Amino acid sequence: MRRTLVAFLAGLIFGAGLLVSRMADPAKVLNFLDFTAHWDPSLAFVMAGGVVMASLAFAVARRRSHPWFGTQFPTLPYGGITARLVIGAGLFGIGWGLVGLCPGPALVALAIHPLRVAPFVIAMIAGLWIVRLLSARRVQSAAAARSASLVQNSR
């Protein structure tokens, strides 16, 4: 219950931060990405503020054995620098550059202009779902193939 409450509070501050920073406005994101005519460097200040604060928190966390509400900090799975990472980040960059929305701002913007933002968010969720579904299937079939070969080897 307390973990849920902390997550809710974090989400509320996160959403408010996206609004205060003006990063929820796709026009500002696109103008940050455009050096030529309308350059608006505001987004660099959002990133700087975010990274400074989060770095402090991660530094404090390194001195602790467990989170305030939880038994331990998870070891984050390290996937390595793979083609999947680079291609995925590239595809994300194309979508981001086309309309100026990434997942966080899309959610806050959805709450403000539901009808306008819904097509983007629905398509985004569909994209997330398709990839995760296919990855889960691939992991399952790889596991099935492994256990099948184990059965064969044991014969």
Partner 1 sequence: MLLPPPLPTAFTPLLSLAGGLMIGAAAGLLWLGIGRIAGISGIVGGVVERVERDWRLAFISGVLLAGILARGLGLAPAIHLQGSLPLLVGAGLLVGVGTALGGGCTSGHGICGLSRLSPRSMVATACFMIIAFAVVFLTRSIGSF
144 forms part of the interface with partner 1 (CB under 8 A): no
Q: Alpha-carbon distance 2 to 81, whole Å?
A: 36
Min dist CB 153 to partner 1, Å, is: 32
The binding track of 57-96 with respect to partner 1, each residue x by CB under 8 A or -, is: xx-xx--x-xxxxx-xxx-x-xxxx--xxxxxxxxxxxxx
- Binder to partner 1 among 136, 139, 142, 143 (CB under 8 A)? 136
Min dist CB 144 to partner 1, Å, is: 19
Non-local CB neighbours of 98 within 8 Å, separated by 6+ positions:
none
User: What six digits make up the tokens of 99?
Assistant: 């309309």
Nearer residue to partner 1 within complex by CB, 71 or 154: 71
* Surface-to-core class of residue 32, CB atoms within 10 Å of its CB (0-12 exposed, 13-18 middle, 19+ buried): buried
99 forms part of the interface with partner 1 (CB under 8 A): yes
